[in-house]
Structure 1
Amino acid sequence: MSGIAAGNVLQLTATTPAPFPDRAVVKMLTTAYFDQVHPQFPFLHKPTYRRWEEEVLTAGECKRSPDPVHAFFVLALCAVGALTGPFAGNTLPEGLYAAAETYYEHVIQQNSLESIQAILACAMYSLRSPVGVSVWMLSGLALRQCLEFGLHRKIRWSRAQPDYVKEELRKRVFWCSYNLDRAVAVTLGRPVGIADHDIDAELPSDINDEDITPHKLLRMPRSSHAEPATEISSAIHTIRLRQLWARMQRVVYPQVESGDTSQSDQAIQEFKTEFGLWLEHSPEQLLSNRLHNDTFGSPEWYKLMYNHSILLLYRHKLVRKASGSVTAQVFVDCAQSSHAICMIYKQLYVTQRLNDTWGALHVLFLAAVTYLHCVLSSDEVRGIYRLNHISSTCTSIMVVLAIMAERWKPVESYRDAFEMLSNATQATLIETSMAQRTPAGPLISPEGQKQFTDYLSYMAEIGMCASVEDLLTDMVE
C-alpha cells in the first residue's frame, strides 16, 4: 500500500528530520491524534502517554536528552496528528516522522510491548501518507511480535498485584494488530497473519482510558450495546466486524470457488443477516467526536462499513455470472451498496469530514468499479439506475477521486482509470439502449487498451484490491 522498508529500520526517505516542536505545537498535534486516530486504533493508554510527553517536553526545556522511547512516541504521534490537520499538505509530517525514525531502532531493540506500539504508530502514519512503509508489512510485523509475546492467548494465571494498565494494553495491542491485519488482508485478498482458531485472547475492556489505573478500574466496563459508548466502543465494534470478515473468508469464499452454490447461498444469507445486526448494534458516536466533525464512529461510517461488507460478501460471485449462479438480486444488492458507498464518500469529502487514507481509496474504488460492473451486467440494475442517474453517480465519484489526487499523486492512476472506465461504460450503455440489446464486445477500445493497462500496472505497483482486479478483468476482457 505504501513504500517498502529497507532493512530493520523503517527508512522512509532522505527527508531532513524536523526540529522538536515547541510545547504548544506538540499539544495541538497529539490532541489531534487522540481525537481522530486513537478512537479507531487505541493501542496506547492516553494518561500514560501524557506522562511520557510531559517528561520529554520538560527534558527539552531543561536542555536534557529525553528518554528515546518516549521521544519516539511524541514525534510519531505529532507526525500522524499533522497528517490529520492543516499541516497535511506540507512537509512537516514527513520531517516529524523522519525525526521519530532517529529513535525507532532504539525502541525496537527493547523487544517489549512498546516495540509493538511503535510499529503500530508507524502503521498509523503509513495509512494516511502517500509515502511510508507498506501497511501490509507493518501489520504483519506487529502481529508476529504479538505472537512472540503470546498476546494472542488468554492469560490463565493471576498475580497478587495485577497491573490493569499493562493487562489492558496487552489486549489492545494484539487486537489493534489483528484489526489492521484483517482489514488489509481481506481488502487486498492476501493471507491473514493468524487463524482465528489460534486466538483465545479476550477483547479489550470497553472502558475509557482515564478509568484504567495500574491498581484498579475506576468503573465497570461497558457490557451491553444499550449502555452509553466509551471512547473505544467503536474500535471494539470494528474488531467484531473484522472477526465476521475472517469467518466469511473462511466459510463463504471456498464454497463459491468450488461451485457449491446451495451451500454458499445459504452462508451468504446468514452473513448478510449478521452484518445487518452488526450495523443495528453500532454504538453511538461520542459528543466530542461529533463536535470535532470526525467521521469514525458516525452513522455514516458504520453504513460505509456495512455496505463494504456486502460487496466483500458477494465479490466472488459477481465475476462468475456465466455459471448461472448469480441471481438478479445479487447484482441489485451490490449496485445499491456500491451506490451508497460512493454517495457517502462524496458527502464526507465535500463537507471535509474525511482525511485521505489508503483504506478509503480502496473502499471507494471497489464500490465504483462494482457499480459499473453491475450496471453493465444486469437488466434489473439498468432498470433501477437510468442513464442520467449513472452519469451523475460517475461524476460524484470523479469529484472525490479528483480531490484525493490533488493531495496524493499515486491516486492519479485510479482517477484516470475510472474516468476511462466510466466514459466507456456510459458510451456502451447509450449504444446498447439505442439498439435495445445487452452490452457486448470489448468495453475499452483497442486504441485505449494500452493506456488503460498502464494505469492498472501503476495501480498494482502501489496496491490494488483483489476484488477490483477480478472485476476489471471480467469487464474489460
Structure 2
Amino acid sequence: MSNELPACQKCKLRKVRCDRQAPKCTSCTKGNVACIIVDPASGEQYARDYIRQLEVQEAELKARLDEKAAGRPETSHSTIEAPQATPAGLPTGGSHTSHGGFVGDGSGLGFLRSILSEAKWQRHRTHILNQLATRPGIQQLHLSPNPLPAVQEAEQLLENYFTRFHIHHTFLLRQEVLSTFNRVYNASATSLDQDYFRLLMVFAISATTRYRAGITNDHPYGYFMAAEDYLGRIPLIRDIDAIQNLLLVARFGMYHHIGASLWEISQLCMRQCIEWKLHLKPAHPLDPLVEQHRRRVFWECYVLDRYSSGILGRPFAIAESDIEVELPFDADDDYLVNSSITSLDLMPKRGPGPSEVSVFIICIQLRRISSRIHSTFYSSRSAVASSANSFGRSTEFKSIGHVYTAFTRLRSELNEWRATAPIFLYPRSLYERPEWHDFLHEKDMLLLARGAMHNVPSKPYAGAAVKEILTACYVSASRIIELYSTLMEKRAITWTRSYFQVIFTAGLTVTFCISLELLKSSIETDFEQRHPARTLALCSAILSYFKDKMPDAASAAVVFDVLKDECLKDNLSRVETSNPNQDSMHDSGAHSVQNNSSVMT
C-alpha cells in the first residue's frame, strides 16, 4: 500500500491542496466532517483514519513475520485491536467485491459479448477489442472565466434555464433563484459567495444549449470556471444548501467534463440526504413549501444515484425499501404558498393540466421502475456482484416461465407510465414533447427486454415467450434510434454521453437480434416496418455525428460500423439485393443527421 493516500473527497471537490494528514486532513478537521478518500481503482470510499489503523496493523504483522523468519521470539506489541463493530470508514459496497472494471447494465456489452462469442466474429474480435481499448484524450478547452453577463443576456439565460432545464430537474426553488438573481444584479443589495456560485452555475447549465445553437458566443465552461472560484467559500458538505450546490455541479457535468466523477458526487449527495433524513417522512409538521423542497432535493439525488450507478454497474446508494418519503406534490410553488392548508399531506389536488414539477415527477416514477428492472434482472445490482458476472443471469429464475412473468409485469408498469404521462399542448422544450416521453419509454423497455434475454435459462432461443421478448428487444432498439433521429431533425435535442450510450446500445441490440436469425420468421411485420439495414444505417449516421461532437466516443462508433457491415453482409444479403431502395435509405439517414449540426435540448 502506498504511504501517501489520495486527497480526500472534500478537498478534491473544492480543488484545494489536501495535506493528507491522518486521522483527518486539516480541512476536514476544521470543518468537523469525516475525511473520506476514494480508492482510484475501485471507487470504494474509506475514512482516512480507518486506513491509518490498517497500516499500523500491517506494519506490526510484517514485524512479526520478520521476527519469525529470523528465528527470534515475538516481542510484545501494543497492538491496535481490530474493532468489533464495522468501522465507519468501511467501503460502501461489499469489501470482497472484485473490481475488474466498472461497466453497467446500460452499456450494451452483454450483447457485444454474445456477438463476439460466435465463431463467425472471431476474425474481428481482436480488432474490436483493441479499438475499444483505445481511449482518445478528452479535448482540452483553453478558456478563461466568463464575467457576469449584461442584465439582458442574464435574463435570457435565466428564462432558458427555467424553460429547458428546471422542469426536468426541479430541485431549486424558483423564487430562491429569482431572489439570488436580484441580489447579484442589484447594486444596493448584499450578495453572498453562494449567490454568485449558484447564479453562475445556472448560467453555465443554461448556456449549454444557447452556445451549441449559436445564440451566444459565451462558452458555458467559462461560467463554470467563474463559479469554480467560489468553491472554496461555499458549503459542499453540510446541509441542504450544500446538496443543492453539488447537484448544480452534477447537472453541468452531464454536458461537459468537469474533472470529477458524477458517481462520487451522487454518493456524497445521498450520504448527506440520509444524514438529514430526507429519505424519511418528516418527524414533525413542516411548512408545505419547505417539505416540498426537501422532497425535491432528495428525489433529484435519487435520480442522479440511479443514473450514475446504473452506468457504472455499481450498487445503488440507497435501497428502495429504505425510502419512506413521498414524491413531490404535483403543483407550482405559488399554489403551495398561497394555500391556507398547512400540511402537504392534506393539500388538495390542483386543477387539470401539468405543473412546473410534472415532468420531474414522471422522471422519478420512471427511475423507480427502472430500479426494479435492475433489481429483478441484473445481478450487478448486488453489492457483491463482480464485473465478470454482471451480465450473467440471476439465480432466481428457474425457467423461462419465471422470466416471462417478471417481464410482462414490468412491461405493464412501463406501459402504464407512458399512458399517464402529462400532455403539453404547446411544448416549450424537449422534456414536454411526447416524442421524448416515447424515447424514455422505449429506452427502459429495451433495458427490461435485454435483462430478460440475459436470464433465459437455456439456448438456443426458442419458444413463443422467448420470441416475444426478442421482438421487444428489436422493436424498442429500432424505435430508440428512430425517435432520436426525429428529435434531431426537429433540432429539439442536444448531444451528451448518456445519449451516445443509449444509441450505441440500441445499435448493438439490433445487430444482436439480426445475428440470431429469428427476426424474419417471428416479427415479419415489424421487420418490414423497421428494416434492419435502414435502422443500422441511421444508427451509424447518428454515432458518426456523435463522434464529430465528442472525439472520445470515436472508438465505439468505429466498432459499431465494423459490426454493422459484417452483420449486413452475413445476415441480410438476400434482403438487400431484393430491396432497390437500400442505398437511398442509407443516404437519407446520413443526410438527416448531417443537416442538424445545431440542436437544442
Q: TM-score, normalised by structure 2?
A: 0.64
Partner deviation per Cα, 1:40-68 (whole Å, 9 max, x = no partner): 11000111210111101114xx6x87311
* Residue in structure 1 matching 2:554, options 397, 404, 412: 412
Q: Quick check: 1:8 aligned with 2:20? A: no
Q: What letter matches 1:426 in structure 2?
A: L
> What number of residue pairs does the alignment pair up?
421
Shift of 1:238: 1.4
Partner deviation per Cα, 1:334-388 (whole Å, 9 max, x = no partner): 1011111100000111211002223222222211111111111132357553699
Contact 1:229/1:286 (<8 A) preserved: no
* Residue in structure 2 matching 1:52, options 143, 155, 180: 180
Question: In structure 2, what is the Cα distance between the partners aligned to 1:265 and 1:388?
Answer: 25
Q: What letter matches 2:206 in structure 1?
A: G
Q: Quick check: 1:147 aligned with 2:274? A: yes
For 1:257, the equivalent position in structure 2 comes to 394
Shift of 1:36: 0.9
Q: Quick check: 1:378 aligned with 2:532? A: no
For 1:475, the equivalent position in structure 2 comes to none
Deviates more, 1:149-158 or 1:69-78: 149-158
Question: In structure 2, what is the Cα distance between the partners aligned to 1:244 and 1:37?
Answer: 23
Question: In structure 2, what is the Cα distance between the partners aligned to 1:390 and 1:419?
Answer: 14
Q: Quick check: 1:183 aligned with 2:310? A: no
Q: 1:353 to 1:10 in 2, by over 3 A?
A: farther
Q: What letter matches 1:44 in structure 2?
A: L
For 1:323, the equivalent position in structure 2 comes to 459
For 1:18, the equivalent position in structure 2 comes to 146
Q: 1:319 to 1:195 in 2, by over 3 A?
A: closer
Question: In structure 2, what is the Cα distance between the partners aligned to 1:54 and 1:233?
Answer: 27
Query: What does 1:81-100 correspond to in 2, within 5 Å?
Result: 81-87=206-212, 92-100=219-227
Q: 1:58 to 1:194 in 2, by over 3 A?
A: same
Question: In structure 2, what is the Cα distance between the partners aligned to 1:413 and 1:295?
Answer: 29
Contact 1:387/1:426 (<8 A) preserved: no
Contact 1:83/1:129 (<8 A) preserved: no
Q: What letter matches 2:441 in structure 1?
A: Y
SS at match of 2:12: coil
Shift of 1:320: 6.2
Deviates more, 1:82-91 or 1:162-171: 82-91
Contact 1:79/1:97 (<8 A) preserved: yes
Contact 2:236/2:246 (<8 A) preserved: no
Structure 2 unpaired stretches of 5+ = 1-8, 17-139, 380-391, 577-601
Shift of 1:81: 0.4
SS at match of 2:225: helix
Query: What does 1:466-477 correspond to in 2, within 5 Å?
Result: none
Q: Quick check: 1:400 aligned with 2:542? A: yes
For 2:358, the equivalent position in structure 1 comes to 233
For 1:446, the equivalent position in structure 2 comes to none
SS at match of 2:551: coil
Q: 1:316 to 1:163 in 2, by over 3 A?
A: closer
* Residue in structure 2 matching 1:71, options 181, 196, 200: 196
Q: What letter matches 1:207 in structure 2?
A: A
Q: 1:356 to 1:84 in 2, by over 3 A?
A: same
Question: In structure 2, what is the Cα distance between the partners aligned to 1:84 and 1:48?
Answer: 23
Q: What letter matches 2:273 in structure 1?
A: C
Question: In structure 2, what is the Cα distance between the partners aligned to 1:387 and 1:212?
Answer: 48
Partner deviation per Cα, 1:64-98 (whole Å, 9 max, x = no partner): 87311111110000000010223567662111001
For 1:350, the equivalent position in structure 2 comes to 489
SS at match of 2:14: coil
For 1:438, the equivalent position in structure 2 comes to none
Question: In structure 2, what is the Cα distance between the partners aligned to 1:6 and 1:398?
Answer: 42
SS at match of 2:571: helix
Identity of aligned residues (%): 24
Q: What letter matches 1:94 in structure 2?
A: Y
Q: What letter matches 1:302 in structure 2?
A: H
For 1:464, the equivalent position in structure 2 comes to none
Q: What letter matches 1:355 in structure 2?
A: T
For 1:121, the equivalent position in structure 2 comes to 248
Contact 1:45/1:165 (<8 A) preserved: no
Question: In structure 1, what is the Cα distance between the partners aligned to 2:341 and 2:249?
Answer: 29
Question: In structure 1, what is the Cα distance between the partners aligned to 2:484 and 2:158?
Answer: 26
SS at match of 1:142: helix
Deviates more, 1:379-388 or 1:35-44: 379-388
Structure 1 unpaired stretches of 5+ = 435-477
Shift of 1:109: 5.2
Q: 1:150 to 1:5 in 2, by over 3 A?
A: closer
Partner deviation per Cα, 1:311-354 (whole Å, 9 max, x = no partner): 11122343567534662222111101111110000011121100
Shift of 1:216: 5.5
Q: What letter matches 2:193 in structure 1?
A: P
Shift of 1:297: 3.1
Partner deviation per Cα, 1:93-114 (whole Å, 9 max, x = no partner): 1110011111123222572211
Q: 1:260 to 1:14 in 2, by over 3 A?
A: farther
Q: What letter matches 1:41 in structure 2?
A: H
Query: What does 1:154-165 correspond to in 2, within 5 Å?
Result: 154-158=281-285, 162-165=286-289
Q: 1:110 to 1:269 in 2, by over 3 A?
A: closer
Partner deviation per Cα, 1:132-185 (whole Å, 9 max, x = no partner): 533222222211121121111110212xxx433322111100001101211232
Where in structure 1 do 4 or more consecutive aligned residues deviate above 4 Å?
A: 10-15, 87-91, 214-224, 319-322, 381-384, 430-434
* Residue in structure 1 matching 2:508, options 369, 374, 390: 369
Q: What letter matches 2:281 in structure 1?
A: K
* Residue in structure 1 matching 2:160, options 29, 32, 49: 32
Q: 1:186 to 1:155 in 2, by over 3 A?
A: same
Question: In structure 2, what is the Cα distance between the partners aligned to 1:364 and 1:166?
Answer: 39
Q: What letter matches 1:308 in structure 2?
A: K
Question: In structure 2, what is the Cα distance between the partners aligned to 1:378 and 1:329?
Answer: 14
Question: In structure 1, what is the Cα distance between the partners aligned to 2:520 and 2:193?
Answer: 58
Contact 2:442/2:479 (<8 A) preserved: yes
Q: What letter matches 1:37 in structure 2?
A: F
Q: What letter matches 1:360 in structure 2?
A: Y
Q: 1:401 to 1:209 in 2, by over 3 A?
A: farther
Shift of 1:405: 2.6
Question: In structure 2, what is the Cα distance between the partners aligned to 1:381 and 1:181?
Answer: 40
Shift of 1:21: 1.4
For 2:231, the equivalent position in structure 1 comes to 104
Contact 2:332/2:355 (<8 A) preserved: yes
Contact 1:42/1:172 (<8 A) preserved: yes
Deviates more, 1:230-239 or 1:382-391: 382-391
For 1:313, the equivalent position in structure 2 comes to 448
Q: TM-score, normalised by structure 1?
A: 0.80
Shift of 1:212: 3.5
Question: In structure 2, what is the Cα distance between the partners aligned to 1:193 and 1:140?
Answer: 6
Question: In structure 2, what is the Cα distance between the partners aligned to 1:123 and 1:173?
Answer: 13
